[in-house]
Structure 1
Amino acid sequence: MIHQYKNNGYNIVLDVNSGSVHVVDDMVYDIIGLYENNTLEQITDALRDRYSVQDIKEAYEEIDELKEAGQLFTEDIYEPYIDNFKDRPTVVKALCLHIAHDCNLACKYCFAEEGEYHGRRALMSYEVGKKALDFLVANSGSRKNLEVDFFGGEPTMNFEVVKQLVEYGRSIEEANNKKFRFTLTTNGILLNDEILDFANKEMSNIVLSIDGRKEINDLMRPTRNNHGSSYDIIMPKFKKVAESRNQMNYYVRGTFTHNNLDFSEDVLHLADEGFEQISVEPVVAQPTDSYAIREEDIPFLCEQYDILAKEIIKRKKAGKGFNFFHFMIDINGGPCVAKRLSGCGSGCEYLAVTPWGDFYPCHQFVGNEDFLMGNVDDGIVRPDIRDMFKNSNVYSKEKCKNCFAKFYCSGGCAANSYNFHGNINDAYDVGCELQKKRIECAIMIRAAMAEEE
């Protein structure tokens, strides 16, 4: 499978199955577009008015050589492997601990209903968290590195338990030949020096929630009872976090909505404020929500990604670059085969744990009783749910099979698929279009920067 596109003056050819990327001139670009379904003679006849016959012949031979070398028009080696992939052992690698089903902000787009997740406000006890870590260790097989994200709601509202669980996790690492990688996701309202010092010592990554410009952030992320601007409260703290971690191992994460379709301005605002690790993502909302991204918004949003990509190149070349999460792809290596085929591993390798110890496939399924998989006392009691997620992959989704982006997005988000189509083997169409554009921009950026190397 070949994907061809033009972006920012570059003619880019992606060989989907091998992952090979080629930046070519107009003639080669046109020949590749005709190569699969035409003979050399037919291609020559079609292009002789634009290019010399000799040049066409030489370029055609070079394409032949690239095909022989496995860099163009390669066969799909993954689909025949899919049955073995489905039979892989289930190993839990990561937990999302809902340390607090409560929040001190009232974000309008929050899928967790201001931290409540369709249920009651609650804080996770140390005992429940301890059992969750024990479950992770017991079900992680021979895997040494384990991921635990302290999530909410707002996890700093229960920070004493966070500290206790980190201490417990560290205490069982050596005996079990494990290493915990803890992450904290926070809105920053309660962030202080004590929390930051602890996080810098124990948290491998910190995710800082902010949407960008003050007016945009405060519109969608108001404080409860309108007690001041959340932007004004958190911005100085977040700058301190970024600097204290040497601009590494954190990122500011925002959400853009129909209210700020010009989201590139929010990304650049965060960059101008000194942040070097930035993620601003499209909201996922029902069409009835006033802030939802609509199908008619897609062309404008694609232009925004182009604007952002060009600005990133400009800043990188000037030595003032920053990383935009959705433009970060590894062309040379990329994710392992399992991740290419099935993505985040929700429901089998990755689970969410509620404050009272229930297991769900991920944080976005929490509160939907149809996806309640078990609990910290009994373990997984619904292996059928686990197997449903385990068998979900880019070949089980009709929309993904012939999509050039499938090995980059790995089939997209299962929760989004379910929320829009009622099953996890579909795809959220608006999200797909934006994802494809992000991948095209990411590859173009790599092509542009390769000229500097």
Structure 2
Amino acid sequence: MSLTIAKKIIDFVFKNTPSEEKIDIGFFGGEPLLEFELMKEITELIENHPSFKNALVELTVVTNGTIFSDEIADFLNEHNIGFCLSCDGPPFIQDTFRIFSNGKGSSIDVTNTIKRAKEVLSSVLVNAVYHPETFQYLPQVVEYLASLGLKRIYLNPDFSAPWSKKEAELLPEIYGQISRQYIDYYLRQKPHFISLIDSKIAAILREGYKPLERCRMGTGEFAFTPSGNIYPCERLIGADTGNGHCIGNITDGIKRERMFCKTEPGKEINAECLSCSLKDYCMNWCGCSNYFSSGYYNRVSPFLCASERTAIITAFNTFQALEEKLGSVFFYNLIEAHTANCVTGE
């Protein structure tokens, strides 16, 4: 990305964000740390912008964990840039999908990065993606990541994978095992943030997802490519041909006629979603997840429905079990954990 394009993007971000609304700016790829020097220059542009407010702007980088150094760590700490690393779990899982071009697995490099990052960074998040071939190992994934000292664990399915009814039927047992791990961590006074549980508990406590947490692709959420093309979500960029999901270019602006991807509350194609008692706690509004799993921005696939329903019920049962065991101690610890750990609306 040229600095000229980067500056236009930054101007767009500050111009189009309400004055007191939080701004999340993330460095994505590919692998963003391949362009570490450029990342430093763009960060300088952001922090020197006339509208920059330190308290309202959060910077993050999402990396595959194969590149790390003391220089990178110093820069991230100096500029308070959140560090999220992708690791799908133990070597036998990580090396199934995340391999180098020569066929070598990445697990050794990523594990070394995790260990080093834990030593030198104030906070390290990890994102584990699971597939039909690996989701039955999710409890082992959680245990492995926890064994590396990671306390903030995000679990996300690959919705573009061919999920079937068979996997959906196994969800209660798999999620139930993770619930038992979560409870055990709390009882041993070593609580972990596990998105599968915590995000739903938070939604339940708040009586549903709030407007700023829901999908705002193309209205309050944008992704920008090196060419300057604008997309409603980074997951929808693909090869950046300027077609498909592209809604404009930073030089010419957003083309409103391309805003076909916009999702609106209550506009789900699935009639059953409108009458579902769990709809306020469900991510039926996530446009990119819907698209990759069903082919429509506003149609929920059978697997996403099953996963969300199971996660909501599992989270409720988990909360109830811990409240019975720990009472108000658990509740206040949970609130404190969410205040510290819940970032970017997840």
What SS class does the counterpart of residue 184 from structure 1 fall into?
strand
**Residue of structure 2 equivalent to 1:349:** 220
Q: Where does 1:432-451 land on structure 2 (aligned, <5 Å)?
A: 432-451=305-324
Q: Where does 1:35-434 land on structure 2 (aligned, <5 Å)?
A: 124-174=1-51, 179-226=56-103, 228-246=104-122, 248=123, 250-260=124-134, 261-287=136-162, 293-328=163-198, 329-330=201-202, 331-333=204-206, 337-339=210-212, 343-366=214-237, 367=240, 369-381=243-255, 383-386=256-259, 389=262, 391-397=263-269, 398-434=271-307
How far off is 1:137 after superposition?
A: 0.8
Q: Percent identity?
A: 26
What SS class does the counterpart of residue 135 from structure 1 fall into?
helix
How far apart, in 2, do the equivalents of 1:317 and 1:173 lie? 48
Q: Aligned in 2, Cα 1:155/1:313: closer, same or farther, shift over 3 Å? A: same
How far off is 1:334 after superposition?
A: 5.7
Q: For each residue in 1:382-402, what CA deviation from the matched residue of structure 2 results, as whole angstroms up to 9, or x when unmatched? A: x1444751x522444434212
Q: For each residue in 1:330-386, what CA deviation from the matched residue of structure 2 results, as whole angstroms up to 9, or x when unmatched? A: 24336664146xx231111101111110001112221471322111111112x1444
1:346 is aligned with what amino acid?
M
Q: Aligned in 2, Cα 1:132/1:332: closer, same or farther, shift over 3 Å? A: same
2:178 is aligned with what amino acid?
L
Q: Aligned in 2, Cα 1:286/1:139: closer, same or farther, shift over 3 Å? A: same
TM-score (norm 1): 0.65
What SS class does the counterpart of residue 309 from structure 1 fall into?
helix
How far apart, in 1, do the equivalents of 2:155 and 2:292 lie? 21
Q: Aligned in 2, Cα 1:177/1:214: closer, same or farther, shift over 3 Å? A: closer
Q: Aligned in 2, Cα 1:146/1:175: closer, same or farther, shift over 3 Å? A: closer
How far apart, in 1, do the equivalents of 2:126 and 2:99 lie? 17
What SS class does the counterpart of residue 425 from structure 1 fall into?
coil
8 Å CA contact 2:32–2:63 kept in 1: the answer is yes
What SS class does the counterpart of residue 137 from structure 2 fall into?
coil
Q: Aligned in 2, Cα 1:337/1:387: closer, same or farther, shift over 3 Å? A: farther
**Residue of structure 2 equivalent to 1:53:** none
1:159 is aligned with what amino acid?
F
How far apart, in 2, do the equivalents of 1:158 and 1:403 lie? 46
How far apart, in 1, do the equivalents of 2:207 and 2:36 lie? 35
How far off is 1:241 after superposition?
A: 1.9
Q: For each residue in 1:238-289, what CA deviation from the matched residue of structure 2 results, as whole angstroms up to 9, or x when unmatched? A: 123234344x4x31111111222222111111112211111122222343xx
- Higher-Rg structure is 1
8 Å CA contact 1:144–1:177 kept in 2: the answer is no
Instruction: Name the one with the larger strand percent.
Output: 1
How far apart, in 1, do the equivalents of 2:159 and 2:148 lie? 26
1:164 is aligned with what amino acid?
E
How far apart, in 2, do the equivalents of 1:177 and 1:212 lie? 34
How far apart, in 2, do the equivalents of 1:399 and 1:324 lie? 29
Give unpaired runs (5+ residues) of structure 2. Answer: 330-346
Structure 1 segments of 4 or more deviating over 6 A? 175-178
How far apart, in 2, do the equivalents of 1:323 and 1:282 lie? 17
TM-score (norm 2): 0.84
1:392 is aligned with what amino acid?
E
How far apart, in 2, do the equivalents of 1:240 and 1:269 lie? 16
Q: For each residue in 1:420-448, what CA deviation from the matched residue of structure 2 results, as whole angstroms up to 9, or x when unmatched? A: 44432211221221121111111222212
Q: Aligned in 2, Cα 1:294/1:243: closer, same or farther, shift over 3 Å? A: farther
Give unpaired runs (5+ residues) of structure 1. Answer: 1-123, 288-292
Q: For each residue in 1:36-63, what CA deviation from the matched residue of structure 2 results, as whole angstroms up to 9, or x when unmatched? A: xxxxxxxxxxxxxxxxxxxxxxxxxxxx
How far off is 1:320 after superposition?
A: 2.2
Q: Aligned in 2, Cα 1:354/1:132: closer, same or farther, shift over 3 Å? A: same
RMSD, matched Cα = 2.3
How far apart, in 2, do the equivalents of 1:320 and 1:193 lie? 29
8 Å CA contact 2:14–2:51 kept in 1: the answer is no
Q: Aligned in 2, Cα 1:419/1:318: closer, same or farther, shift over 3 Å? A: closer
How far apart, in 2, do the equivalents of 1:314 and 1:346 lie? 37
8 Å CA contact 1:348–1:386 kept in 2: the answer is no
What SS class does the counterpart of residue 237 from structure 1 fall into?
helix
